[in-house]
Structure 1
Amino acid sequence: MSKCTIDHTQNDVVQKLIEQQAFLPGELVERGELFLSKPKAQETLNEVFHLLKKYDLAAEEERMKRNQTMEQLFR
């Protein structure tokens, strides 16, 4: 994924999670919602936003990589 210079708000990330939830594993959505229920560092918000961005268009292998990264972040 390319590096983006735009800072995404917590609300932006929550909205992106909502948009992509139909394409994500249910458990990952639940963990993401819990994770985003508390304030996060800007760098973390940007990373999660870009993991979710165009998730629905990503190939299965790319989705698996993104899922693993999100699972690690959401711990």
Structure 2
Amino acid sequence: MGLITLVLVGLIAGWLAGRLVKGGGYGVAGDIAVGVLGAFIGGFLFRVLGLHASGLVGRIIVATCGAVALIYVLRLLKR
């Protein structure tokens, strides 16, 4: 995955994750960071579960799932 694609997927996934968990956005840089970390986490989770997603939309779905998991864990730790 190219750097520009990674950043765009991260931005979209971070923004979507913020909306899904009712946290709002985290700003452009925050959304990218959450989305990129979410892409790695989502990729790991999908592999463990034996799932596969391909294409740009698949990458966004995987990254969003990972970003939601990341936000959820961070909120648990914050309490």
Taking structure 2 as the reference length, the TM-score comes to 0.31
Highest RCO, 1 vs 2 (Cα 8 Å, sep ≥ 6) = 1
Taking structure 1 as the reference length, the TM-score comes to 0.32
